[in-house]
Homo-oligomer: A and B are copies of this chain.
Amino acid sequence: MLRYDVGMLDGFLTRGEFDSIKEEIAAASAMLRDGTGRGNDFIGWRDLPAVFDREEYARIRDTARRIREQSGILLVIGIGGSYLGSRAVLELLRGELHNEMGGLKVYFTGNSLSPGDMEDILRLCDSSDVSVNVISKSGTTTEPAIAFRIFRDYLIKRYGEEGSRERIYATTDRTGGTLRKLSGEHGYETFVIPGDVGGRFSVLTPVGLLPLAAAGIDTDALLSGAEDMRKVSCDDDTLVNPSNRYAAVRNLMLRTGKSVEILICFEPRFRMMGEWYKQLFGESEGKEHTGLFPSTCVFTSDLHSMGQFCQDGTRIIFETLVKFAQVGSGMTVHPEEDDFDGLNYLAGKSIHDINTIASDATMSAHTEGGVPCSVIECEKLDEYNTGELIYFLERACAVSGYTLGVNPFDQKGVEAYKRNMFALLDKPGYEEDKKRLLEKK
């Protein structure tokens, strides 16, 4: 079972400080349990691992098999929560080079407006058969909509109108939106984004599950890990509950002037999980001019870039380490007769053990340097433990946001740039905004 260890916070947070916040945390935790908090029409993710639609899940597994049979490449078109979760889990479990290691290749596109990136993927498409999973609640979000126009056109040219229909899978709203309508007209196979689950909490819905199942990830184990974490945390409003304890630490840190959290992992393949975490917490808490700035490092790599700042820079940071006790490989350092590099003292040690020692050494160096650290300990780098970790972070985020006093489930600030962009792009309906922008210049 996942553990959240605050042992290294001695000297940074006192028992008194934990006591001071425990009632606030209990209230926030109860609000989430009872559905009485702000944004409670978006807490569908809370019970998802227990109550997800089994019929649809079976169809996801069938479709995943069909995609692997019909294609060598799956394009996943989506932005924000519509791609970060699945890409994060896929890279964590299969590595960043997964597309070069054999099996179905999965490319994520429609998550930027970079023409070069789309062109590169178009070129790669010619090397194999292609299926597309387009993910959008509305169907009108600019980035994925442009990409879907381009890749749908590509499929039609390559496979014909009829052929293209069998290669397009739409994950979208149950009833509304242009993508739902288009799917009905053309007979695309569809999956539902539940109305009460926001994008950043959607990795355990068809949004994440279809691409992951297609890539061969064991989604049963993923869901089962999430469900076990739900069970241990859904009814416990105390600080014994690990997600409550983590929410407490985050809020206490912010109150003591630490405004930046760095989520750290010693596995490079965790990088996109860090991006997923940044959306989860940044979009949930970064509002009303408050919230911890979420940031990530991959160590030991970034010890040789950000390590100096962590050890001795501005005292605004605290660190949260995600640690995996078991990582697959047993690769060891071999001895060299002449010990040319002086590494023979490591001979016979496994590289994972050396990595673990590097992790212990770093955390104690940073603690000694005045940077508070706590540790999320996962037993193993596998599907089950990833499911636990996802649910743990989602629940901690909700409780942390409630404790902070914000609505963790809205994201009104995301609209400002869109309004300006639509105005500057002369989208019908945004004439007044355009006038305002031009007057400012």
Q: Which A residues have a C-beta under 8 Å from some C-beta of B?
A: 79-81, 84, 95-97, 99-101, 111-121, 123-124, 139-140, 142-143, 145-146, 148-150, 153, 178-179, 181-182, 199-200, 259-260, 266-269, 275, 278-279, 282-283, 285-295, 298-317, 327-331, 333-334, 336, 340-343, 345-346, 349-352, 354-355, 357-358, 360-362, 364-366, 368-369, 381, 411-414, 416-421, 423-428, 437, 440
**How distant is the Cα of A348 from the Cα of B8 in the complex, in angstroms?**
58
Tell me which of A266, A349, A424 has the highest count of chain B C-beta atoms within 10 A of its own C-beta: A424
Interface pair A121/B97, CB less than 8 Å apart: yes
SS of A interface (majority): helix
With A116-B328, A146-B333 given, name 17 new contacts (CB 8 A): A95-B120, A96-B117, A99-B100, A111-B268, A112-B298, A112-B299, A115-B329, A140-B342, A143-B301, A146-B351, A283-B306, A286-B306, A294-B306, A309-B413, A313-B413, A365-B417, A366-B417
Contacts of A364 in B (CB 8 A): 420, 437, 440
Interface pair B369/A305, CB less than 8 Å apart: no
Interface pair B260/A357, CB less than 8 Å apart: no
Give 20 A-B contacts (CB < 8 Å), ordered by A residue.
A113-B266, A113-B351, A116-B329, A117-B268, A143-B301, A145-B343, A259-B314, A282-B309, A283-B306, A286-B308, A286-B310, A293-B295, A293-B313, A308-B413, A311-B413, A345-B428, A354-B425, A364-B437, A365-B420, A368-B416
Contact of A346 among B146, B333, B334 (CB under 8 A): B146
Closest chain-B Cβ to A277's Cβ sits at a distance in Å of 10
Contact of A305 among B100, B121, B268, B275 (CB under 8 A): B275
Copies per complex of this chain? 2
Interface pair A293/B260, CB less than 8 Å apart: yes
**How distant is the Cα of A115 from the Cα of B327 in the complex, in angstroms?**
8
Contact of A115 among B311, B331, B414 (CB under 8 A): B331
